[in-house]
């Protein structure tokens, strides 16, 4: 599997190094992905929901809309074409896609997030590396793009 969601309709594409286990018998949803993949994917999907929604409504967004229209998660070794916002998460993904952070501008003082045009390099979506403070800094950029 190379993608979760519909990259054709999504305005935000999140690139990760490896796909989760999916159930092809049921529609894609948060609860089933977490059931099959555990806490690791629960964290990824919560962070994505927080980035894509308003702060107070992220739980509803996660449960009802995540990966249905505005975002997709991509596992390919190249950026998909188009003017979408590409969020490349984790150094392994940066390297796999041939993206050097030295050619990007830092978006915040800690040097964990970089941007060049419509590409943003971020830490891997885990609570320790991607805290709520970082989500708050990125949310307006993401929402302005979409």
125 is written with which tokens? 């979506």
CA distances from 7 to 40, 69, 90, 94 (A): 23, 8, 20, 19
**Which structural domain range is residue 101 located in?**
3-145
131 is written with which tokens? 């805290």
pLDDT of residue 83: 84
pLDDT of residue 146: 65
CB-count exposure of residue 37 (10 Å: 0-12, 13-18, 19+): middle
Number of domains making up the chain: 1
Output the tens digit of pLDDT for each of the chain's 146 residues: 799 999 999 999 999 999 999 988 888 889 999 999 999 999 999 999 999 997 779 999 999 999 998 999 999 999 999 889 999 999 999 999 999 999 999 998 888 999 999 999 999 999 899 999 999 999 999 888 76
Gap between the Cα atoms of 109 and 145, Å rounded: 22
CB 104 within 8 A of CB 30: no
């Amino acid at each position: 599997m190379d993608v979760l969601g519909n990259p054709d309709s999504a305005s935000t594409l999140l690139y990760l190094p490896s796909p989760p286990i999916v159930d092809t018998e049921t529609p894609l949803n948060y609860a089933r992905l977490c059931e099959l993949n555990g806490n690791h994917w629960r964290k990824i999907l919560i962070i994505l929901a927080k980035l894509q929604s308003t702060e107070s409504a992220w739980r509803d967004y996660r449960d009802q809309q995540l990966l249905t229209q505005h975002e997709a998660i991509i596992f390919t070794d190249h950026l998909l074409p188009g003017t979408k916002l590409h969020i490349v998460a984790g150094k392994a993904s940066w390297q796999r896609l041939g993206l050097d952070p030295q050619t990007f501008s830092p978006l915040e003082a800690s040097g964990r997030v970089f941007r060049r045009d419509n590409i943003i390099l971020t830490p891997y979506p885990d609570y320790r590396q991607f805290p709520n403070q970082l989500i708050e800094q990125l949310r307006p950029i993401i929402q302005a793009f979409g």
